[in-house]
Amino acid sequence: MSEATSGGAEGFAPSPAPNSSVPHPSAPGLAMPVLGAMAAGHFLNDLIQAVVPAAYPMIQRDYGLDYAQIGVLTMAYQFTASLLQPAVGFLTDRRPADWALPAAMLFSLAGLLALAFVQSYEALFAAVLLVGIGSSIFHPEAARLTRMAAGKRLSFAQSVFQLGGYSGTAMGPLLVAFLVTPYSLSRALWFVPLAAIGFGILILGVKWGKERLRAHAAARKTLKAAHDFSPAKVWGTLGILAILVFASNAYSAVLSNFYTFFLIEKFHVSIKTSQILLFLFAAAVAAGVFFGGLIGDRIGRRRLAIFSILGAAPLALALPHVPLVPAVLLSMGVGALIASAFPSIVVMAQELLPRHVGLVTGGFFGLMFGVGGIAAAAFGGYADTHGVVQTFQMAGLIPLLGVFGFLLPRIGETR
């Protein structure tokens, strides 16, 4: 499919038109082995990372932590991931690192082992830092290989890659509920074989994609953006996209980190039930991110960004005021809506600066994690003084920032 543009907004086309002179290293076509390896690696990487927030109720119970301390743990993980990701992307833009993806899995594995044997809050802090480092290395390079494997189907490839990550995030709480919660944190060792499998998959993925990485490195200096934006307009548009990422991920951080506490406080469900319901929420997010990549090709990325974030506001505002079953359904709806915009936002940002795919991707993933960390710490402190239910009422205002999507340059819709 091609996307006609108007008003000089060519920078948002998912790929150059057939007569474009812009060289794309991904031109040989869709490489499913590479894409599948990146999606599977993303699934296992994010599944391991999801163990930490899913285990928060156990951590709070065993170590006597308050909500602010839980928020600080999340902030430590998110800041590590957010600060390092742009740096990793910047470096690998210039010199692709074959070892980066397997090394990322090893850092996550080390954090997992530390989590299983911790004896203090300080050790917990170190464990989440290791997991954050693994995430910071994984996402920029995996997203680069995903783009290289995409051929001309950039949105489809990005949605498949994101589906892997969000599916792992969804499965993490479910597995924790059945394998860890009935016992102790030491049962986190059940996830070690998954990390080993992920290490092997990523080695194979790098092996399959090595030629495309080399082609991208060789062609990088000749790449030209498929738009005629001035530098000010490019950075202004990136700023608007960053606001949308802030809106979606600040609210998502509240849901993913405090949803179990919200269900326990308001509806008095058990820890295990809250973790199962967290899985349903995360599964809806995974479905949203996959179908968002497909729908964005049809209705246009600008429209999708506005609809998904701003359209989630009524659901988010209603969530704290309804009974259990409607609350679960609303949480699934708002999670799916907000997540559906992220693949399109990433592709738009990549097309704005095609020579800096790693830097841009790492920056936006880093922004996603950084926003999540700040939101978790801020709303954790708020929850200590006002309760989790009122925290959800305040957080429901965040998706209203989706109104900034109307400032994105208008583009023609896919025909």
Identify the pLDDT of residue 216. Answer: 56
Which one-letter DSSP state was computed for residue 3?
A: B
Q: What does the block give as tokens for 198?
A: 């992920």
- Name residue 254's amino acid: V
Identify the pLDDT of residue 147. Answer: 79
Give the whole-number percent of the chain exceeding pLDDT 70. 81
Count other C-beta atoms under 10 Å from residue 137's C-beta: 28
Identify the pLDDT of residue 10. Answer: 37
Residues 120, 127: Cα–Cα separation, whole Å: 11
Residues 264, 26: Cα–Cα separation, whole Å: 48
How far is C-alpha 380 from the chain's CA centre? 21
How long a stretch of residues is the chain? 415
Identify the pLDDT of residue 3. Answer: 36
Which one-letter DSSP state was computed for residue 187?
A: G
Tokens 């990422």 -> residue = 245
Count other C-beta atoms under 10 Å from residue 28's C-beta: 13
How far is C-alpha 39 from the chain's CA centre? 13
Give the model's confidence band at 215: pLDDT under 50 very low, under 70 low, under 90 confident, else very high: low
Q: What does the block give as tokens for 359?
A: 């830097």
Which one-letter DSSP state was computed for residue 403?
A: G
Identify the pLDDT of residue 27. Answer: 46
With contact defined as beta carbons under 8 Å apart, do 388 and 262 qualify?
yes
SS3 15: coil
Q: What does the block give as tokens for 18?
A: 């057939």
With contact defined as beta carbons under 8 Å apart, do 293 and 162 qualify?
yes
Residues 365, 371: Cα–Cα separation, whole Å: 10
Could you give phi then psi for residue 3, rounded to 5 degrees? -125, 110
Residue 404 has pLDDT above 80, yes or no: yes
Which one-letter DSSP state was computed for residue 414?
A: B
Question: Which residues pair with residue 114 across a beta bridge?
Answer: none
Which residue from 134, 133, 131 is spatially nearest to 202, judged by alpha carbons?
Answer: 134
Tokens 């009935």 -> residue = 182
Give the model's confidence band at 402: pLDDT under 50 very low, under 70 low, under 90 confident, else very high: very high
Lowest mean per-residue pLDDT among 62-71, 119-128, 212-221, 335-344: 212-221
Residue 25 has pLDDT above 50, yes or no: no
Q: Which domains does the chain have, with CATH numbers?
A: 29-407 (1.20.1250.20)
**pLDDT tens-digit map of 27-55:** 456 778 888 888 999 999 888 888 877 77
Q: Taking the model in full, what pTM does it have?
A: 0.67
Start-to-end Cα distance in the chain: 7
- ∠ CA 365-109-270 to the nearest 5 degrees? 80
Contacts of 61 (CB under 8 A, 6+ apart): none
Which one-letter DSSP state was computed for residue 39?
A: H
**pLDDT tens-digit map of 285-315:** 888 888 887 787 677 778 888 899 999 999 9
Residues 67, 259: Cα–Cα separation, whole Å: 13
